[in-house]
């Protein structure tokens, strides 16, 4: 397994009320959230992000690919926390 660090962390709001903010810094952490903690029914971007994280962990893709896919999935699920903003949940 080749876990890699993201260039910049990605913040997502999880938990029942979306009140727990996770600062995602590594590909393995993003994969764990996508597989075990994702708050909504999976969408197409969610599946793309899971595959991208797996590819990085297998050593066939770069971390930036997984980060971009994770951000897109978080936008799709409405859990991305933009810098300086607190989610309205």
- Structure confidence by residue, pLDDT tens digits, 58-85: 999 999 999 999 999 999 999 999 865 5
| pLDDT at position 21 over 70 | yes
Residue 89's pLDDT band (cuts 50, 70, 90): very low
Q: How far is CA 65 from CA 1, 3, 9, 18, 62, in A?
A: 16, 13, 14, 25, 6
pLDDT at position 28, please?
97
What's the predicted TM-score (pTM) here? 0.88
**How would you classify the pairing of strands 5-14 and 20-26?**
antiparallel
Question: How much is the average pLDDT of 12-35?
Answer: 91
């Amino acid at each position: 397994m080749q876990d890699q660090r993201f260039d910049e962390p990605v913040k997502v709001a999880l938990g029942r009320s979306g009140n727990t903010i996770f600062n995602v810094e590594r590909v393995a952490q993003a994969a764990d959230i996508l597989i075990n903690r994702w708050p909504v029914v999976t969408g197409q971007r969610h599946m793309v992000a899971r595959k991208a994280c797996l590819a990085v962990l297998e050593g066939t893709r770069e971390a930036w690919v997984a980060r971009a896919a994770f951000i897109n999935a978080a936008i799709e699920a409405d859990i991305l926390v933009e810098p300086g903003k607190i989610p309205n949940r």
